[in-house]
Amino acid sequence: MEKMKTINEITNRLSRSISLKIGVTGFLILLLLIPVVMIQRLIEERKFTRDKVVMEVSDKWGKMQALTGPVLVLPYFEIDIRNNEMYKTWRKLFVLPESLDIDGKINPEIRYRGIYKVIVYGSDLELKGEFRIPDLTKIGIIPENVDWKNASLVFGLTDMRGIQNEIKIVWQGKNISVEPGTENKTIARSGFTAKVPVSDTGISFDFNFNINLNGSKCLYFTPVGKTTKVKLNSGWTTPSFSGSFLPDSRKISNDGFEAEWTILHLNRNYPQYWIDETYKLTGPTATPIYAQNWDQMDYSHNISNPIFGVNLLFPVDEYQKTMRSAKYAIMFISLTFLIYLFVEILNKKRIHPVQYLLVSFGLLLFYTLLLSLSEHLGFNLAYLISALAIIGLITVYSHSIFKSITLGMVTSIALTVLYIFLFVILQLEDYSLLLGSIGLFIILALIMHLSKRINWYGQLNENKEPSGTNNE
C-alpha cells in the first residue's frame, strides 16, 4: 500500500514538474517537424501540378520564346593540294547584321485549365536591319570561291508552333519566302531559313519583316546586331526584365509597360563574323516544367548566349508565399506552446500534452486551408479566412481548457498578433529578415519579462502561487 502511495506521489510530482513539462513540450515540437515537412511537400506537389498544367497549355499555344538572328551564312570553298592532288573543302562564313532594330507589342492573355491560370501572349514583332559583307580577302577568303547563289539568312526560334503569319522577308526591296528548319545547328536548333541574293563584297543589304508570334510567359532576344535596339510595349502591369541586359529605359504603369534596350557588339562575347563552328549561338536545349524563365534553362554547347527580354509574371505567386509561410510553422507552434506554458505556470491551469497536440494540429491545419483556398480566392483573402478560422477554433478550445474568458481572449489576441506579424513579413519580402529579427527580439524581451516570476526548479501547484526567484 505504501509502495502504491509512493508511486502515486512520484507520478504526481513528475506531472507537476516544470522542467519535465518543458521537456515534453520540446519533444512535441520536434515531433511536429514531421507534419510540417509533409505540408511543405504538399505545397511543392501542388506547385509542380500547376507548372505541369502551364506546360500543357504552352505546348498547344506556344512555349517560352527566344528569337535569335538573323545571321547571314555564306558557303565558300578552299583548295588544298596534298600529294600533288587538289582537294576542295567547303566551309561557311557567318556574318551578323550591322544594325538590328526590333519593335514589338505583346498582347497578354490569361488562359484557364481547371483551377489554374496560365499567362500566354500574342506578339507583333517588326524586325529591320542591315548587313555589310566584310572584306573577304582580309580574312583569307577568295571572293570567287564564294557560292553567292546559296547564301541564306538563318533565324532561330525556340517554338515554331508559335508563328501565326506567313513570313515574307523584304530583302533589298524584294519579298522572299522562308522555309522551316535550319541547316546550321550552330545558330539554332529550330527556326527558319531564307535564300537571299548576295553579291559583291562591301555592298550593304537591307532587310525587314514582321512576325506574329504566340508564346508563354517569356519573350527573349539574342543581340546579334553590331548595334541591337529592342523596344517592347504591353498592357501587362507586372513584368520582370531579366537576362544578360536590363532595359536602358522602362516605364511601368497601370496601363502596362514600355521598355527599350540598346546593346553594342562590345557587350557580347562573339564577333561580327566567324568561320564554321568557331562560335555557336545555340540557345536553350529544352523547356523543363520547373523553369520559370530563361535564366534557368540549359545553355550547354553555346558561348554564354547573352539573351535578354521580359517575363510576364502574376502579381502574387500563391505557392511561393504559402511555402514561405509554412517555413514559419515551427516558430508559430513554439510560440503558441509557450503561451500555453506560461498560462499553465502563472495561472495554475493544468494542460495535458494531448491538448497541446490538438492545438498544434489546428495551427498546422492553417497551412492546408491557406493552400487550398489560395488556389481559388487568391492569397490575401485565403490568408484572412484561414487565420480567422484557426484563431476562432483555438480561442473556443482554449476557453474550454482554461474555463476563463479572459485567458481565452489573451490566447486569441496573441494568435492574432502572430498572424498579422507573419502576414506583414510575407508582404514585405525585401525587409522580411529585418522585420522578423525585430519582431523576435520584442517577443524574446516579453518572454524574459514574464518569466521573472517563475521558479524554474519548482513545480506546478494548483493551490499556491509559484514562488519567484527574485529576492527583493
Do residues 112 and 214 both lie within one domain?
yes
| Residue 16, pLDDT score | 58
Judge whether 411 lies within some domain: yes
Mean pLDDT throughout 275-290? 60
The dihedral over CA atoms of 24, 26, 28, 33, expressed in degrees to the nearest 10, equals: -160
Helix, strand, coil tally for the chain in percent (to 5)? 40, 30, 30
Judge whether 330 lies within some domain: yes
CA separation for the pair 61, 167 (Å, rounded): 19
Do residues 283 and 332 both lie within one domain?
no
| Residue 469, pLDDT score | 41
| Residue 210, pLDDT score | 95
Helix (H/G/I), strand (E/B), else coil: 278:
coil
| Residue 282, pLDDT score | 67
| Residue 344, pLDDT score | 80
CATH number, position 218? 2.60.40
| Residue 3, pLDDT score | 52
Judge whether 336 lies within some domain: yes
Do residues 150 and 248 both lie within one domain?
yes
More confidently predicted of 454 and 165: 165
Contact 201, 151 (CB under 8 A): no
**Which structural domain range is residue 31 located in?**
2-48+319-453
Q: Please state which of the ranges 47-61, 119-133, 208-222 shows the lowest mean pLDDT.
A: 47-61
Do residues 432 and 380 both lie within one domain?
yes
Domain boundary among 269, 299, 315: 315
| Residue 349, pLDDT score | 74
Do residues 245 and 391 both lie within one domain?
no
Given a cut of 70, is residue 422 above it in pLDDT?
yes
Contact 18, 345 (CB under 8 A): yes
Judge whether 465 lies within some domain: no
> Pick from 100, 159, 107: which is nearest to 126 by CA?
100
Given a cut of 80, is residue 217 above it in pLDDT?
yes
Number of domains in the chain: 2
Q: Please state which of the ranges 231-235, 386-390, 404-408, 418-422 shows the lowest mean pLDDT.
A: 404-408
Do residues 273 and 124 both lie within one domain?
yes
Q: Please state which of the ranges 80-89, 228-237, 379-388 shows the lowest mean pLDDT.
A: 80-89
Do residues 195 and 289 both lie within one domain?
yes
CA separation for the pair 94, 13 (Å, rounded): 87
Domain boundary among 248, 283, 315: 315
> Pick from 375, 242, 214, 240: which is nearest to 315 by CA?
240
Q: How many CB atoms within 10 Å of residue 389?
A: 15
Mean pLDDT throughout 238-252? 91
Which range among 38-42, 56-60, 139-143, 295-299 has the greatest average pLDDT? 38-42
Judge whether 55 lies within some domain: no
CA separation for the pair 403, 399 (Å, rounded): 5
Do residues 308 and 328 both lie within one domain?
no
Domain boundary among 264, 290, 315: 315
| Residue 470, pLDDT score | 43
Task: Name the β-bridge partners of 141.
Answer: none
pTM (2 decimals)? 0.76
CA separation for the pair 105, 93 (Å, rounded): 33
Judge whether 468 lies within some domain: no
Mean pLDDT throughout 153-162? 91
CA separation for the pair 367, 358 (Å, rounded): 15
Rg (CA), the chain: 34
- What DSSP designation does 79 have? E
Do residues 200 and 99 both lie within one domain?
yes
Given a cut of 90, is residue 212 above it in pLDDT?
yes
SS3 letters for 129-193? EEEECCCHHHHCCCHHHECHHHCEEEEEECCHHHECCCCEEEECCEEEECEECCCCCCCCCCEEE
Judge whether 461 lies within some domain: no
SS3 letters for 284-298? CCCCCCCCCCHHHCC
Local confidence band at 408 (pLDDT 50, 70, 90 cut-offs): confident
More confidently predicted of 64 and 289: 64
Distances (CA, A) of 365 to 1, 167, 236, 281, 369: 47, 55, 35, 50, 6
Given a cut of 80, is residue 367 above it in pLDDT?
yes
Mean pLDDT throughout 238-250? 91
Do residues 264 and 389 both lie within one domain?
no
Local confidence band at 202 (pLDDT 50, 70, 90 cut-offs): low
Given a cut of 70, is residue 334 above it in pLDDT?
yes
Q: Does the N-terminal peptide bond of residue 70 adopt cis geometry, omega within 30 degrees of 0?
A: yes
Judge whether 54 lies within some domain: no
Query: What is the residue-averaged pLDDT of the chain?
Result: 83
Distances (CA, A) of 468 to 13, 48, 121, 163, 295: 19, 54, 68, 78, 60
Q: How many Å separate Cα 227 from the centre of its chain?
A: 31
Do residues 301 and 344 both lie within one domain?
no
Do residues 248 and 393 both lie within one domain?
no
